[in-house]
Every structure is written in structure tokens, then in C-alpha cells.
Amino acid sequence: MKAILEKAKAFAVPTKLEEKKISETVKKILQKVNGQLKKSKVNAELIVGGSVAKGTWLPGISDIDFFMRFDYNKYKNKSGELDNIAEKVLKKCFKINRLHGSRDYFSLQQAGFYIEIVPVLKITNPKQAKNITDVSPLHINWIKKQIKKKPEYFNEMRLSKQFFKANGLYGAESYIKGFSGHVIEILVVYYGSFLKLLKGISKYKKKQIIDIEKKYKTPAKALEAINPDKTQGPLIIIDPIEAGRNAAAALGNEKLNLAVKVCEKFLAKPNIEFFKIKPIKIKDLVAKKKKRKLIILQAEPEKRKIDIAGAKLLKKFELLKEELTKEGFKISEADWWWDEKGPALFWFYLDPKSLSKTKIHWGPPVSVKEEFIKGFKRSWKKSKIKKTKGRYYVEIKRKFIKPEDFLKNLIKKIKKLKIARS
């Protein structure tokens, strides 16, 4: 096991060259913006955020987060103006995009990185927050404090994140519903190491409640205090900073169940392959085809924020799946994959048999009012109306008996989607 984890660091720990590039980029942005803040006489400072601030980022990182922290005493009554003040300063430094949120924030491209800058109040206690984003730096500080106590957490957190990412478990976005980086970091602190975390997850059953800072005397008290909408998921992690928040609220049942299985498999038979991110390839999908029909579609993501683009892709996938089922095609397996860079792949394994040439369209029961029956007959006056089991119906010719033909017609109405293989 020790040898495998040592090898895994090659996938989880950035190279010195990458660290240097991140460091230089961060330094340039901080110097430029903080210099402009001082010049504009704005009582605020730009600080780096996210995994870069904590030092727990993974190789290949493409985005860096920053916070523009405004002096609390001076701006606490101007919370609604922070985004406008930030925009004036940032426009003098970069070409920026303004994005809408609970408080507007800003994005830009720099040295090949996607940068986001969020204006916040500089607070020391969550109760001071005027907006949910004000608390974010406190979450980062909590993790940094834990790492300071135990520097070994750097690698333990990175190994954990890489393991979760390689197995499709990483990301709290709505199209993933997995473990956020912050949740993984909290769990590493709670269990103490990567291996102990995996052992803990492998034993999860039903609803698990983790209160790392012991904010509540009992699990029941915790459930009473948290918004019921945020406790519907399979895992409840009492946020170390905000006691009324479930840090794992975005996690879905499917991802937790998958996490349990993956952790069990790795612990039973450790292998370096669990740390390798494996892109889905068309040839691999074809190899799993067996005696089923396989249709693969390629979907171009919209040029939006990753979480929004991902949500749009998921919506398209679910629409296709729903329409195929509604039309009568039997799907034995369906899924999709996206590397957050190029096009996404949607695939459907279906019954190889074509549908019958006709299908039944059901009408009203024979017991309803005559006016409804007459309406059905008028609508289908060119068809032979029959009745069975107390209900009227017509037998109509199907427009499509093969799923590939149905999809070709359906995607004419959907942008940036094409069939890659059928």
C-alpha cells in the first residue's frame, strides 16, 4: 500500500514548474490589483482563495479564485455597493466580465488561467456577514489552520482529491452532485488521513452525520438546527464555521453509493489505476456493446462558467433519455462524460430490435361524458377507433422504429449536438 500511495503522488502533487507558474500568476494579479486599490483609495485588499490559498490544488488546475476583502467598519453599510466599487477598480487593471450571483463577481483570463474575483466584507465572525460570500475566506482559514497543525495534510488532501476525481466523485456542481474539494478536506481532517477516510466511507450506511467541531450535543440537535432542505442528502457534515450549514448538502445518493463501492474495491485490492483519470473513448464504449445497439452523441458545451455549461449538458442528456423512453425505446444503460474542456459524450445502449410499425394511442374511458368521447373521435376521424378494457384507442403508424432515426430527427431542434456513432 505504501508504495502505491507514493506512486500516486505523481498524479496528485503538482510539479515545481507548475507551482512556479501558479505562484508567479498569483503574485502579478495581487500586485496589480492591490496597487490599484491603494491608488483609488479603496480600503480593501485582494487575497487568493480556493485550493490555491490552502495549497491543496491538483495538477492541471485551470482556475484560480480571489477575494477582494473590504474593510468591515467602513463598508458594512455599503454591502450592496461592493460589486460596483470592485468593478471600477478591476476595469483599470484587466478586461473583465461581470457575473451575476448573490453579490456580483468578476472573471478574466490571465496566463492561461480562468480567474474569478469575488468582492466580500472582511469579517472575523460569520454573524457579521451581510452576504453568504463574506464567510468564504473563513472556511479557507479553518483548513489552513488544520494544515498548520499537521503539515502532512497537504499530501493527504491531495491524494484524496485525486482519488475522488479519478473515480468520478469530485465536484459539488449540480451536474455532478459529488464531493466538493472543501468537503474532502474536512473529511481528511475528521478521519486523519487518506486511508482512514476511505475506510470511513466504505462503512457509511444511510444518513451519516459528522460534526467535526462538536457544534451540537447530539445528531438530533444538529438536524433540528439545519434547514430541512439541506438535510435531504445522504451525508450531513456540520460546517466547522457555520453550524447551521450542511457542507455536503450538494452530495447526491448516487455519488455516495459509488464512493462506498470504490473505497471498498481499493481497500480490498489497492492499485495505482484508482488514481488515474481515464477519459472515456468511443472504442471503449464499443467494446462494452455486446449484443446491444449503441448510439453515441457528441455535445458541444456552451461558452459559459463550467458549472452552468455542465448543467446545460446534463439537461440535454436527460431530455434525450426521456424522449427515447417516451417513444418506446428500451434503454439498458445510458451515461455521459465531459472533461470540462472539449465536447461531451452521451451514450445509450438499447434493445437491438426495432419497434413495431404501429403503436397504440389511448383515448378516454368509455365511462366519461359523451362530449369527451366525441372530441377523441373527431381528432382521430381518419383512424379506426377501437375499445378494449373499457377504454377507446387507435392504432397508429410509428414515424420512427429505429432509435438512431428518432434521435437524428430530435436533435435537429437541439443546438450543438450531433451523432458520433450509431
Q: What is the mean pLDDT of residues 147-162?
A: 96
User: Cβ of 129: how many Cβ atoms within 10 Å?
Assistant: 17
Q: At what angle do helices 194-202 and 253-268 cross, to 10 degrees?
A: 120
Q: What is the mean pLDDT of residues 171-183?
A: 94
- CA 341 from chain centre, in angstroms, equals 14
DSSP classification of residue 174? T
CA dihedral 350, 419, 337, 65 (to 10 degrees): -150
Confidence grade of residue 242 (pLDDT, cut at 50, 70, 90):
very high
Q: How many Å apart are CA 206 and CA 201, to the nearest integer?
A: 11
Segment 285-307 mean pLDDT: 91
- Alpha carbon separation from 285 to 152, 277, 320 (Å, rounded): 39, 16, 18
**What pLDDT, on a 0 to 100 scale, did the predictor assign at position 210?**
94
DSSP per-residue string spanning 265-291 = HHHHS--GGGGS-----HHHHHHT-TT
CB 159 within 8 A of CB 9: yes
Q: 82 phi and psi, to 5 degrees?
A: -60, -40
Q: How far is the C-alpha of 51 from the C-alpha of 48, rounded, in Å?
A: 9
Label residue 219 by pLDDT band (50, 70, 90): confident
Parallel, antiparallel or unpaired: strands 113-121 and 105-110: antiparallel
Residue 250 binned pLDDT confidence (cut-offs 50, 70, 90): very high
pLDDT digits (tens, 9 = 90+) for 26-82: 999 999 999 999 999 999 999 999 999 999 999 999 899 999 999 999 999 999 999
Task: Note the helical H segments in 288-362.
Answer: 306-327
pLDDT tens figures, 70-110: 999 999 999 999 999 999 999 999 999 999 989 999 999 99
What share of the chain has pLDDT > 90, as a percent? Answer: 80
According to DSSP, the residues that pair with 116 across neighbouring strands are: 65, 107
Q: Return the pLDDT at 369.
A: 84
Exposure string of 59-76, with b = 16+ CB inside 10 Å and e = fewer, is: eebebbbbbbbbebeebe
| Mean pLDDT computed over 385-393 | 88
Model pLDDT, residue 304: 76
